[in-house]
Amino acid sequence: MISMKTKYALKALGFLARAQGKDAFLIAEMAAAENIPKKFLEAILLTLKNQGILASKKGPGGGYSLAVAPEALPIGRVVRAFEGDLAPVPCLGDGAPVKCTECEDMATCGTRLVMADVKTAVTTVLDGVTLKDMLDRSEVERQKQSKTIDYTI
Amino acid sequence: MISMKTKYALKALGFLARAQGKDAFLIAEMAAAENIPKKFLEAILLTLKNQGILASKKGPGGGYSLAVAPEALPIGRVVRAFEGDLAPVPCLGDGAPVKCTECEDMATCGTRLVMADVKTAVTTVLDGVTLKDMLDRSEVERQKQSKTIDYTI
DNA sequence: TTAAAGTCTATAATTCCTATAGACCAAATG
DNA sequence: CATTTGGTCTATAGGAATTATAGACTTTAA
């Protein structure tokens, strides 16, 4: 299960990507628009900024904006900002592999071998979809939905 | 990240699959052999039994045994026993879909669309590998390792 | 210089995970 | 049929992570 932080982050990024008019948006605006607890969103946006995904400007007229174009931002990058490397087991982490406490031999561990495939599968999906792709797919579903409604009225 | 329960479960199942001689093994035996806290393992084995993966016999000479052949037991079934359906978001659960609290429209939610692909990717891997497959792969790695050692000595 | 707006630290409330204790129940065997 | 072996169930404790809030601090534009 992904965390609230990740889900809120994706909502907030979607908001920014869709509203490409203004150059910066207030935390309060985004919180209100997407129904996210303001103080919680604050921390989330800060993380996204530290990851280089968002840019911010302080002071009057300031706010947050995308630092990366929606078509250049893989969803995997956003998810990793909050869920860490997408390792199902510690020994499959991206940096120096951390042996599980209960594991005798990392190299031959069956669980590890299988979970390595899981990790590959997950990252392949998440790194293959950009923020723009996600919004487009959402839009397609919305079209389908309204079309269905047109027919049924 | 998968839980200790899942990892311990896979270790215990591997132990039973490898030791196909006796008909039943004691919790205490398995706990000792695989270095798992006995009381904790107790709860794990009970879950596996309730899932129909293990069978048990009480009383003297009793113990646990596999209720499913290793080649007929997908790892996904074991993981699901402890991690639940492998839904990255509640709205992708196997039963009646539970709408996320923060979600406005499930049908068009971009996060949900992407996570559906993730779920498919994960389940495809986990349901495509049996306990036997896992042990075989582990054995292959062990062979590789000993071969390497032979050369270096 | 003052008000706007992001940044940082601390902390509360809740939930989940890991693990242990102990009472209880079922079955085999003499 | 009683005793002993061994699985079953309930409760619970400790700790870590998650979700969220409060408030002080810093930067910057006008």
Asked if the structure places residue B10 within a domain, the reply is yes
The whole-number pLDDT of residue B150 equals: 57
Q: Is residue A20 very low, low, confident or very high in pLDDT (cuts 50, 70, 90)? A: confident
Asked if the structure places residue B118 within a domain, the reply is no
User: Is residue B89's pLDDT more than 70?
Assistant: yes
A117 in contact with B, Cβ within 8 Å: yes
The gap between B52 CA and D19 C1' (Å) is: 36
A93 in contact with B, Cβ within 8 Å: no
DSSP state of B19: -
Q: Which of B35, B107, B110 sits opposite A134 (nearest CB)?
A: B110
Q: Distance between the two ends of chain B, CA-based, in angstroms?
A: 38
User: Is residue B98's pLDDT more than 90?
Assistant: no
* pTM recorded for the entire structure: 0.93
A9 in contact with B, Cβ within 8 Å: no
Q: Which nt is closest to the CA of B8, judged by C1'?
A: C18
The whole-number pLDDT of residue B85 equals: 95
Task: Evaluate whether A19 touches A30 at the Cβ level (below 8 Å).
Answer: no
The gap between B83 CA and C19 C1' (Å) is: 18
User: Is residue A75's pLDDT more than 90?
Assistant: yes
Determine the Cα–Cα distance for residues B19 and A42; give it in Å rounded to an integer. Answer: 54
The whole-number pLDDT of residue B14 equals: 97
Is the torsion defined by CA of A57, A62, A63, A68 positive or negative? negative
| CATH classification of the domain holding A52 | 1.10.10.10
A10 in contact with B, Cβ within 8 Å: yes
Chain B hits for A88, Cβ within 8 Å: 1-2
| Residue range(s) defining the domain that contains residue B52 | 1-69
- Paired with A56 in beta bridges are A64
Helix and strand counts by DSSP (H, E) for chain B: 6, 2
Taking an 8 Å cut-off on Cβ atoms, the answer to whether B102 and A7 are in contact is: yes
Q: Which two tokens stand for residue B110?
A: 């971009």
Asked if the structure places residue B111 within a domain, the reply is no
DSSP state of B134: H
Asked if the structure places residue A31 within a domain, the reply is yes
Pick from B66, B55, B42: nearest CA to B131: B66
Task: Evaluate whether A94 touches A32 at the Cβ level (below 8 Å).
Answer: no
The pLDDT tens digits of the residues spanning B107-119 come to 999 999 999 999 9
Q: How far is B39 from chain A (nearest CA, A)?
A: 16
Neighbours of B104 (CB within 10 A): 11
User: Is residue A21's pLDDT more than 80?
Assistant: no
Judged by DSSP in three states, A54 sits in strand
Asked if the structure places residue A3 within a domain, the reply is yes
Asked if the structure places residue B130 within a domain, the reply is no
Q: Is residue A152 very low, low, confident or very high in pLDDT (cuts 50, 70, 90)? A: low
Give the angle A85-A88-A93 at the CA atoms, nearest 5°: 40
Asked if the structure places residue B5 within a domain, the reply is yes
Q: Which two tokens stand for residue A12?
A: 């907030």
Determine the Cα–Cα distance for residues B4 and A126; give it in Å rounded to an integer. Answer: 25
Task: State phi, psi for A135 to the nearest 5 degrees.
Answer: -65, -40
Counted domains in chain A? 1
Asked if the structure places residue B50 within a domain, the reply is yes
Judged by DSSP in three states, A3 sits in coil
User: Is residue B152's pLDDT more than 70?
Assistant: no
Percentage above 70 pLDDT, chain A: 96
Neighbours of B106 (CB within 10 A): 15
Tokens 């990366």, residue located: A68
